[in-house]
Amino acid sequence: MKLTFCGGAGIVTGANYLLETGTTKILVDCGMFQGGAENKGWNQKPFLYDPKTIDAVILTHAHLDHGGRLPLLYKQGYRGPIYATPPTAELAQLVVEDSEEIMTTRAQEGGSAALYSHADVAGVGRLWRLIEYKQRQSVGDVQFQLRNAGHILGSSMVEVWAEGKKLLFTGDLGNELSPLLPPADVIDRADYVIIESAYGDRVHEPVKDRKEQLERAIEHVVKHRGALIIPSLAVERTQEILYDLDTLVEDARVPRIAVYIDSPMAAAATEIYQRHHSYLSAEGQNQIRLGDNIFEFPGLKITRTREESKAINSAPAPKVIIAGNGMSTGGRIIYHEQLYLPDSQNILLLVSYQVNGTNGRQLQEGATHIRIGEKDVPVRATILQALAYSGHADHDQLMAFVQDIQRPIQHIFTVQGDDEAAHVLATNIQDEFGINASVPKIGEVVEL
């Protein structure tokens, strides 16, 4: 049996793993590479396999860096099933539809070709096979089931049995302290573990701090008649923020203030969260049963059209603007950053992981100017971070997850992290647990 690391190795994004037995080929994830130009260049390279020969795809969750190249896979001939939980399928389809629209617009403006078309996205929509957690499936001589990963709504780990061995692909493991989602399942055993390492070299702030940081930021912009700008992932991070804002507003912990969700995709994703509320935490489900719309509160305004988005700029301060994308590389947030970053009374609050090469990483590292399109934008606004909003497990949570798996474990591969984070986690796993661990490279093939 062979495992090929076709993406997500030595890099946070582009998750894509090929498992081959003598008769069956399975893909776990088919993600977009994100970040700087070097990272994005991987999207243009051929797949390390012929898509027509793949028997099935398993999608761990809906984020673009895990499912963003599914339409390209379809474009190049894949017609097999794509297995996912119901909310993952709905959210992933929304994400690739949005991705295609953005790429097509940029391609038209730049006189180039988009990576895939609307027809390819529609084709993906016909391939979904919906399965629930712990519902075992067979494809050829491979069996697998999904387990809750606690990362975003419907996110999964993948347990795979083949040729007498068990593999575990963690996908992205959630921050177990998130109040909106249940924690990841405990896995009893595995021979090989392919584990994410985005925060493999650091520990999150306590989750209680995130609401307090949000509260203080709002109080600051109210006092100084400024704007609070939050670059946020449309799927998961925005819903987490709305959940906290609902509590802060309804408990009168912050003054009444206009809150703009300037993202049609975030609005659509929130509706999916509401439809699939059985995947939320017990706390979230209980609030819904008691009649609380946990994603809605006085002062919330959702802007769907471009005209509504532009009108935010003339709305009086103080105000909160939440828009995609989370790394400030595109979406509506960049237009707000052009307007609000030069003013010192404003705050920009980072709540997402910032990949190397992105404007978000530059802001995180204290840049005094950033380039947005053709403009050089001075940064005078206060840049704050609320990293407790992270949807990823941190170093200590990842180590605890490994500790819970019964021995022996033959090998652990740390993936989906920057090179340093992946190596720190691999080294600590080997030193603390005596388990062989390594950081694979893209294109690396291992015999299991």
| DSSP H or E segment with residue 363 | helix 359-364
What fold characterizes domain 2-202+391-447? Answer: Metallo-beta-lactamase; Chain A (3.60.15)
Tokens of 420: 């340093």
Q: Which two tokens stand for residue 300?
A: 């919330």
Query: CB neighbours of 383 closer than 8 A, spacing ≥ 6?
Result: 347, 348, 350, 363, 364, 366
- What's the CATH number for 208-389? 3.40.50.10890
Residue 233 region by backbone torsions, left for phi larger than 0, else alpha for psi between -120 and 50, else beta: beta
Amino acid, res. 6: C
- Could you tell me which of 8, 32, 276, 263 has the C-alpha nearest to residue 155? 276
What SS3 state is found at 372?
Answer: strand
Length of the chain (residues)? 448
Max alpha carbon distance in the chain (Å)?
Answer: 66
Beta bridge partners of 302: 261
3-state secondary structure of 243: helix
Locus of tokens 């993202």: 263
CB distance 175 to 393 below 8 Å: yes
Going from N- to C-terminal start, the domains of the chain cover: 2-202+391-447, 208-389
Q: Tokens 């439809």 map to which residue?
A: 275
- Torsional class of 175: left (φ above 0), alpha (ψ -120 to 50), beta (otherwise): beta
Q: From 383, 354, 387, select the one nearest 210 (Cα to Cα).
A: 387
Do 301 and 259 contact (CB within 8 A), yes or no? yes
What is the distance, to the nearest Å, from the Cα of residue 74 to the centroid of all Cα atoms in its chain?
22
How many CB atoms neighbour CB 82 within 10 A?
25
pTM attached to this predicted model: 0.93
Domains 2-202+391-447 and 208-389 fall in the same CATH topology: no
Looking at the DSSP bridge assignments, the partners of residue 228 are 320, 347
In order along its 448 residues, the chain shows pLDDT tens digits of: 999 999 999 999 999 999 999 999 999 999 999 987 777 789 999 999 999 999 999 999 999 999 999 999 999 999 999 999 999 999 999 999 999 998 998 888 887 889 999 999 999 999 999 999 999 999 999 999 999 999 999 999 999 999 999 999 999 999 987 889 999 999 999 999 999 999 999 998 887 788 999 999 999 999 999 999 999 989 999 999 999 999 999 899 999 899 999 999 999 999 999 999 999 999 999 999 999 899 999 999 999 999 999 999 999 999 999 998 889 988 899 999 999 999 999 999 999 888 888 999 999 999 999 999 889 999 999 999 988 888 899 999 999 999 999 999 999 999 999 999 999 999 999 999 999 999 999 999 999 9
DSSP state of 163: T
- Report the C-alpha gap between 228 and 423 in whole angstroms: 36
